[in-house]
Amino acid sequence: MADKDKSTSILPLSRVKTIMKSSPDVSSISQEALFITGKATELFIQALARFSLEQNKDQSSVEYKDLAEIVNTEETLQFLQDIIPRKIKAKEYFQMLKNGDSEVDT
């Protein structure tokens, strides 16, 4: 990693804590757990962006459509399909509904 100071986090830990506390199963969060969760999230985002860049033809930027394609084609990332779905136009969606296409909810 290129971080000079390993004790800092790029993500705001207050936001990470808010997200963690949104689970009804979580009552308290230690500082260590908060920091490790934040760091793991940063590393995951970096790996996802790197993987997307490697798979992209234009390796100078990552766009939403690139991430959506990776998430929908890679088996290990399928847990993100509801969060990063492929975008379709409303006209296409309504046409799919009209045709009774079974792929409407993916």
Residues sharing a CB contact under 8 Å with residue 89, sequence separation 6 or more, in sequence order: none
Q: Where are the alpha helices (DSSP H) in 22-89?
A: 31-55, 64-73
DSSP state of 105: T
Distance between CA atoms of residues 56 and 65, nearest Å:
10
pLDDT > 90: what percent of the chain?
Answer: 47
Distance CA 16, CA 21 (A): 9
Q: Which residue has the higher pLDDT, 18 or 6?
A: 18
Axis-axis angle for helices 31-55, 64-73 (nearest 10): 100
The pTM is what? 0.70
Find the helix or strand (DSSP H, E) in which 90 lies.
helix 90-99
Q: Could you read off the pLDDT of 90-100 as tens digits, one per residue?
A: 888 888 888 88
pLDDT in tens, 34-55: 999 999 999 999 999 999 998 8
Mean pLDDT of 15-34: 93
Q: How far does Cα 6 stand from its chain's mean position?
A: 23
Give the pLDDT of residue 13.
93
